[in-house]
Amino acid sequence: MKGTILVVDDERNQREILGSILAGEGYRTVLAGSGQEALEALEREQVDLVLTDLVMPGMTGEDLIDAILARTSGTPIILNSAYGTIQTAVEAIKRGAFYYFEKPVDRARLLIIIERAIENLRLRESHRVLSERLFPGAVPILGEHPAIREIRRILPRIARSDAIVLLTGESGTGKDVVARNIHSLSGRSSAPFLAVNCASLPDGLFESELFGHERGAFTGAHRREIGLFEAAMGGTLLLDEIAEVRAGTQAKLLRALQDGEIRRVGGKENITVDVRIIAATNRDLEEEVRHGRFRADLFYRLNILKLSLPPLRERISDIPALARHFLAKHGEKGVPPVREITKEAMRLMMQYPWPGNIRELSSAIERAVVLAEKGEIGPGGLPFGQREGGDGRSFIRSGQPSGPFRMRSGGEEGAVSWSADLPPDGVDFEKLEEHLLRQSVERSGGVHTRGAELLKMSYKTYIYRLKKFGIVPP
């Protein structure tokens, strides 16, 4: 069987004719008489392509495109209509349709386009699987923090566009993972995904790395070399640590982003490039602009779709899911294999501030797996754990032990520190979080800005969590 196609048309004869044609070509068909029937069919069936009429009672073909892509971002959709115009076709493609036909549809042309669309779908899936094998460090976007849920919600729509994305957040928060997800969900997923850490390249090599160079352009340039913009043609280029790009290269990078053209070092001709740019930084670019370290015009060009990733210390309740994910990834490295995390070890992980964020958590789990005994991770295997009396209830934050649990925010004069008493052993993680939140309210005298500082959370996240547990009115 060549694939499964969902045919949607309110005219029974039309959908049955199309179904018969496709079945004769070796496709399995599912027929629906309306947009609602199509969505119900998609709940039951795994389809490779949707072929739908544009003008239908109730839900239109355009509405159906939006509904399908909100559920399954990669499914190719072909529209056909007897009432179409060039503008209709353009709008359909903008919404995410793979192709648009005017009725009556030419049979041979339709079959060619369907074959190409399904081949494109399978190439993207093959590339996704290959990427997962080539980049084993990549992780899914896990967690229920509001910012993470919002990123997951809008990511398919962002992926369908070619607009520049700016990812911000502390080092280790998963910006590279979000970038890879954008690429894999996009129509560029069968083309290369390349990444460059701008901070790791010497000034003299940066321009050559991005744009390439001609033979003889500088000492040691013995042959022509293409740069990352050309190597990523048709795909996605992640410019990590974008704030580290030096001033001279910033101007050339801006020109490449504005004009879609580059010039190799030592070259005389402009080269047109088709690359989706994702930029990432752990710095505040607006602050860099104010201090004259980053071009304002480049910032405005990059700041089109901005996604900010919260640090792990603001995602306390996400730690168990992330820890178990990394345990599944690293667990087989243990002798014997490690498949459990003790309650005491998980408690310590939820109390630790994770300055290295998700990257540090992955490394901590990998280390703990190697050191684990009896097939489980205990407090002693964690690099930051210090046990007193063997109960795993004490550890150091910021190098200063104080009572059972010390938290410290800030590193300058006026920094706030406090000791929190842990609830009894065996309490679940949500109750632990609620317990700490209630203590922060008590210790701060109900001043929420200070309570947020005590827990090293943003004010917005702190208020969200207080409302979540009913500590303050919603």
Question: Per-residue pLDDT tens for 437-461?
Answer: 888 888 787 888 778 777 767 777 7
Task: Decide: residue 307, CB within 10 A, 0-12 exposed, 13-18 middle, 19+ buried.
Answer: buried
Structure token pair of residue 205 = 């090599």
Nearest to 378 by CA among 327, 329, 424: 327
Looking at residue 170, what is its pLDDT? 94
68 Cβ contact partners less than 8 Å away, ≥ 6 residues apart = 38, 39, 42, 50, 75, 77
State the pLDDT at residue 42. Answer: 86
* Residue 259: both structure tokens together: 């004009």
Q: What is the DSSP letter of 277?
A: E
Domains of the chain, CATH where assigned: 4-129 (3.40.50.2300), 152-309 (3.40.50.300), 313-468 (1.10.8.60)
Sequence-distant (6+) residues with CB within 8 A of 277 are 164, 165, 236, 237, 239, 257, 302
| pLDDT at site 432 | 67
Q: What digits encode the pLDDT tens for the residues 262-281?
A: 999 898 888 898 999 999 99
Which secondary-structure segment (H or E) carries 167?
Answer: strand 165-168
Three-class DSSP category at 6 = strand
Helix (H) or strand (E) holding 206: helix 203-211
**Which residues lie across from 416 on neighbouring strands?**
409
CA torsion through residues 334, 339, 342, 343, sign: positive
- Distance (Å, whole) CA 355 – CA 171: 9
Between helices 203-211 and 247-259, what is the axis angle to 10°? 10
User: Which segments of the chain have a pLDDT < 70?
Assistant: 1, 70-74, 84-86, 123-139, 203-204, 385-432, 456, 474
DSSP alpha helix (H) spans, 331-427? 343-351, 357-371
Output the pTM of the full model: 0.57
Instruction: Give the separation between CA 301 and CA 387, rounded to whole angstroms.
Output: 51
Chain centre distance of CA 347: 27
- d(C-alpha 369, C-alpha 373), whole Å: 9
Which uninterrupted H or E stretch holds 77?
strand 77-81
Q: Are 349 and 318 in contact (CB under 8 A)?
A: no
How far apart are the C-alpha atoms of 84 and 363, rounded to whole Å?
56
Query: How does strand 99-102 pair with strand 77-81?
Result: parallel
The predicted pLDDT at position 159 comes to 92
CA distance 434 to 57: 50
Q: Is 203 exposed, middle or buried (0-12, 13-18, 19+ CB in 10 A)?
A: exposed
Strand, helix or coil at 78?
A: strand
